[in-house]
Chain A
Amino acid sequence: MEQIGILEGRKRQVFEKKKGVGQPDIVCDTSSLSGSVSQRACVFCGSRVVLYPIADALHLVHGPIGCAAYTWDIRGAVSSGPELHRLSFSTDLQEMDVIYGGEKKLYNSLIELIEQYKPKAAFIYSTCIVGLIGDDIDAVCKKVSRETGIPVLPVHSEGFKGTKKDGYKAACSALMKLIGTGDVETISKYSINILGEFNLAGEAWIIRKYYEKMGIEVVSTLTGDGRVGAVRRAHGASLNVVQCSGSMTSLAKEMQEKYGIPYIRVSYFGIEDMSKSLYDVAKHFSDRPEIMDAAKQVVRDEVSKLYPSLQKFRKALTGKKAAIYVGGAFKTFSLIKALRSIGMSVVLAGSQTGNKDDYARLKEMCDEGTVIVDDSNPVELSKFILEKEADLLIGGVKERPIAFKLGIGFCDHNHERKIPLAGFEGMYNFALEVYQSVMSPVWQFVPRKGGNR
């Protein structure tokens, strides 16, 4: 077979764990190499994913049509009520707007859309071109806010001004403007905000249920089944519980600074991390030991239900090898543990946006011979999947065809998923999905598994 090389400019972002030898740190946190076909998107994408699940807000994309069209209802973030977030709004800038400026079009669009849809707030995303033609979107937002009486928040997400992470930050600073504007009087001392949980396939509801069983009040799920009103009250919570740390840590830090709310990082994937995320919250409220007792009860109940049902999968999957390539590094930690709990090992672990600490931890966690990659691309992913003879790839839509073309199983762990994978019941779904893909008889026909011709 043809040797696949790694681009010179990317070699320091790829690493294979080896015994004994001191190895340099992986290089990360950089912008993508030109021409390398990164799996990342852009600043706009970062902002859009964070704010998208706020279901009673208007999300207007200021730019040419593509940015809004490609993000129309692409995510599985579900709402228990309004669904304004599932519509796609764009100022659809044309050549004349580019020449003469798009402010007037933005203003008219906003006034009309707010009149028509009566949102509780509006987020205005600026795209690449807005950064060039110099529309003063802050001024337009202020004016419209004054005239309509709702918060109209600019999100400075010009695609080229950084990476997806900068988009997270832009979204967080828009959220910070909302937080602190609601009434917090009735909020319990034993209360949390859930940050970075997007309610894909209703996952936030599952998590919320566990915390509520423990006697914790969930003030806001911010970005999953989100509501403007709840975001406004978020400063009333006693603790911020942060999943998807890549996107929401900066918000948690800001809230700590401004409102003195401490935060913890958690993950809801896999039995181990899910349990820990309940215990850690209980520990925070140690002045009320009933909370810890309740947490233990929740874990006991759930695990005793879940554990026997996993055995079938574990038996079938033991010894199978997985490759992981997802957006945030924190998720890879949980996935490694979750895969181990069903008998699988991990031969490739990577993320689009991990930082130095993440990769150091990943290095610690992984077995020898595991390849660790930052901001990888299809060529590299294919190379390692083949070399390491993986049986499964975990990733998103863009990774799926790589797996399928090469004839290996795939588990969608990205924002389009329709099946909840978080929580204890999510662990069952995860194991089931992995099992259904890896154990399918169709692989006998693919060339890599000996299917001829």
Chain B
Amino acid sequence: MKHAKTATQNACKLCNPLGACLAFRGIENCVPFLHGSQGCATYIRRYLISHYKEPIDIASSNFHEETAVFGGSHNLQIGLKNVTEQYKPEVIGVATTCLSETIGDDVPMILREYKKTHKNGTPLPVMIHASTPSYQGSHIDGFHAAVRATVKELAEAGARQKLVNVFPNMVSPADLRYLKEILGDFSLPFMLLPDYSQTMDGGPWGEYHRIPPGGTSVSAITSAGSATSSIEFGSTLDASKSGAGYLEEAFGIPRYHFSLPIGIKESDKLFSLLETITGQECPEKYKDERRRLIDAYVDGHKYVFEKKVIIYGEEDLVIAITAFLREIGMTPLLCASGGKSGQFKKKLAELIPDLEEQGIKVREGVDFVDIEDEAKVLKPDFLIGNSKGYTMSRKNNIPLLRIGFPIHDRFGGQRKLHIGYRGTLELFDRIVNTVIEQRQNASSIGYTYM
């Protein structure tokens, strides 16, 4: 029986401030700060830690009843002072919550006031404000809001220099490291924002660090305003909400905007752009990676052809994965997201011209109960998405291939690679192995060669 459905059940999204905290963690010497209740910071820390297995300190202005009545200015200012004292940060990234947004705190004004009162002491940290009310959008919106707020606060105009800004979207630390390797191999000076490749996936400490080492430096972000171009991933990411969009608006820096580079076709776009920008041919290393990927596609093509899948997660990730799956002849049955940019179907159709013809269902703003209802009817061979789909995977006995964020029930989620030729190969291997394992388990013979 189909039930009417007002409430969200087993959400396929998180709240806005979570994304902002993660993005702020990708700035060097930055402490994320949530202007709201203590619980928001603590819950978000716990959620991020369970995926990244790294400390992430998120400060909170810790609202009380009086704060909610008289405004959060006092608490925010005390909080900023304490964070400055205890962490000695270069940057404090202040993100709002449903609470502070609803009472209407004017955070930029409070920050200005704070700077005025404390101007005679030791130099103040840079303070960035991102508006991230939890009752709007989802975590991915908070992520982009924090990135945009950061360049808006820090980027300065300057004589054009050989520099490219890269806005990678919410990818894994492994993806970030790979991107940096690629840019380095093209000898292209870059400003990558955010870069939590080390802060959220670093080594052991010999001594205590108030803030984990790593992240994009303030001076690098400042120079973003003098770059020659910006590269930005994420099909549904609108220029009006993005870091590269702001730099284009404010400084006329051209924005090259792509899907997340997953699969050969989308990765090719990135590498050929890099060739164009640098005037340099793609290094042999990546041509090799590409050749190896094609070789793997060929070796594995029969396993995956017309295998039916449901893909869910952030819209941009789902779009990129779906495009890749079409490239290897798989059959996406449903593309689902808890996000609701309004662009989901349109952007999918841009990358997958036969979307309608293939009968691929597209649903935005759904939860895991919706996806499960679909799965029962569509009967996919497996699911691709974050580990929150495990409940329905187990219940309906459909294997789950874990990608993206969060991965709470497997080890090494932060080290999973998704993008470029190398990431695609990793994904392809995992997909083929999922199929092989299924076949092997289902066979009464127990084949030892597959």
| A407-B205, A446-B204 known; A398-B15 Cβ under 8 A | no
Q: Which residues of A are found within 8 Å of B50, using beta-carbon distances?
A: 397
* Contact between B11 and A72, CB atoms less than 8 A apart: yes
- B7, B68, B87: which contacts A160 (Cβ < 8 A)? B68
Q: Which residues of B are found within 8 Å of A132, using beta-carbon distances?
A: 68, 99, 102-103
Q: Which residues of A are found within 8 Å of B64, using beta-carbon distances?
A: 31, 160-162
* Contact between B39 and A37, CB atoms less than 8 A apart: no
Confirm or deny: A405 has a beta carbon within 8 angstroms of a beta carbon on chain B.
yes
Of chain B, the residue at the smallest CB distance from A73 is B391
In the complex, what's the smallest C-beta–C-beta distance from A442 to chain B, in angstroms?
Answer: 10
Q: Which residues of A are found within 8 Å of B18, using beta-carbon distances?
A: 66
* Contact between B65 and A160, CB atoms less than 8 A apart: yes
CA distance A128 to B57 in the complex (A): 22
Q: Which residues of A are found within 8 Å of B103, using beta-carbon distances?
A: 132
Q: Which of B40-48, B149-157, B245-253, B305-313 contacts A (4 or more CB under 8 A)?
A: B40-48
In the complex, what's the smallest C-beta–C-beta distance from A131 to chain B, in angstroms?
Answer: 7
In the complex, what's the smallest C-beta–C-beta distance from A240 to chain B, in angstroms?
Answer: 29
* Contact between B10 and A87, CB atoms less than 8 A apart: yes
Q: Output the residue of A38, A88, A94, A133 with the most chain B CB within 10 A.
A: A88
Of chain B, the residue at the smallest CB distance from A1 is B207
In the complex, what's the smallest C-beta–C-beta distance from B210 to chain A, in angstroms?
Answer: 7
CA distance A39 to B60 in the complex (A): 11
Contact with A along B91-126 (1 / 0, CB 8 A): 000000111001100000000000000000000000
CA distance A401 to B204 in the complex (A): 10
Confirm or deny: A112 has a beta carbon within 8 angstroms of a beta carbon on chain B.
yes
* Contact between B135 and A95, CB atoms less than 8 A apart: yes
A-B contacts at CB below 8 angstroms, number: 247
CB interface residues, B 64-88, toward A, < 8 Å: 64-65, 67-68, 75-76, 78-83, 85-87
Q: Which residues of B are found within 8 Å of A74, using beta-carbon distances?
A: 46
Confirm or deny: B396 has a beta carbon within 8 angstroms of a beta carbon on chain A.
no
Q: Which of A288-296, A307-315, A340-348, A379-387 contacts B (4 or more CB under 8 A)?
A: A379-387
Confirm or deny: B14 has a beta carbon within 8 angstroms of a beta carbon on chain A.
yes
Q: Which of B30-38, B285-293, B316-324 contacts A (4 or more CB under 8 A)?
A: B30-38
* Contact between B208 and A98, CB atoms less than 8 A apart: no
Confirm or deny: A447 has a beta carbon within 8 angstroms of a beta carbon on chain B.
yes
Confirm or deny: A27 has a beta carbon within 8 angstroms of a beta carbon on chain B.
no
CA distance A90 to B75 in the complex (A): 29
CB interface residues, A 1-51, toward B, < 8 Å: 1-2, 4-5, 7, 9, 31-45
Of chain A, the residue at the smallest CB distance from B74 is A34
* Contact between A401 and B49, CB atoms less than 8 A apart: yes
Q: Which residues of B are found within 8 Å of A383, using beta-carbon distances?
A: 208
CA distance A425 to B199 in the complex (A): 39
In the complex, what's the smallest C-beta–C-beta distance from B41 to chain A, in angstroms?
Answer: 7
Q: Which residues of A are found within 8 Å of B450, using beta-carbon distances?
A: none
Confirm or deny: A71 has a beta carbon within 8 angstroms of a beta carbon on chain B.
yes
* Contact between A65 and B86, CB atoms less than 8 A apart: no
In the complex, what's the smallest C-beta–C-beta distance from B81 to chain A, in angstroms?
Answer: 7
CA distance A127 to B36 in the complex (A): 12
Q: Which residues of A are found within 8 Å of B58, using beta-carbon distances?
A: 37
CA distance A44 to B40 in the complex (A): 10
* Contact between B14 and A65, CB atoms less than 8 A apart: yes
Confirm or deny: B342 has a beta carbon within 8 angstroms of a beta carbon on chain A.
no
* Contact between B49 and A159, CB atoms less than 8 A apart: no
* Contact between B65 and A161, CB atoms less than 8 A apart: yes
- B40, B59, B87, B135: which contacts A94 (Cβ < 8 A)? B135
- B38, B49, B79, B205: which contacts A42 (Cβ < 8 A)? B38
In the complex, what's the smallest C-beta–C-beta distance from A371 to chain B, in angstroms?
Answer: 15
Confirm or deny: A206 has a beta carbon within 8 angstroms of a beta carbon on chain B.
no
CB interface residues, B 204-258, toward A, < 8 Å: 204-208, 210, 212
Confirm or deny: B5 has a beta carbon within 8 angstroms of a beta carbon on chain A.
yes
| A33-B62, A113-B7, A379-B87 known; A401-B42 Cβ under 8 A | no
Confirm or deny: B17 has a beta carbon within 8 angstroms of a beta carbon on chain A.
yes
Confirm or deny: A91 has a beta carbon within 8 angstroms of a beta carbon on chain B.
yes
* Contact between B61 and A34, CB atoms less than 8 A apart: yes
* Contact between A89 and B9, CB atoms less than 8 A apart: yes
CB interface residues, B 411-445, toward A, < 8 Å: none
Of chain A, the residue at the smallest CB distance from B68 is A160
A residues with CB within 8 A of B: 1-2, 4-5, 7, 9, 31-45, 60, 63-74, 86-95, 97-98, 105, 108-109, 112-113, 115-116, 127-129, 131-133, 159-163, 377-379, 382-383, 386, 397-398, 400-402, 404-407, 445-448, 451
5 A-B pairs within 8 Å (CB atoms) are namely A41-B38, A65-B138, A113-B9, A379-B210, A398-B49
B residues with CB within 8 A of A: 3-11, 13-18, 33, 36-47, 49-50, 53-65, 67-68, 75-76, 78-83, 85-87, 97-99, 102-103, 133-136, 138, 204-208, 210, 212, 388, 391
The 9 A-B residue pairs with the shortest CB-CB distance in the complex, in nearest-first order:
A42-B39, A66-B15, A35-B79, A447-B206, A35-B82, A109-B7, A159-B37, A34-B79, A64-B134
Give 12 new A-B contacts, CB below 8 A, not counting A66-B14, A128-B68: A31-B62, A35-B62, A36-B86, A40-B38, A41-B39, A45-B42, A64-B135, A70-B43, A98-B102, A105-B6, A398-B46, A446-B204
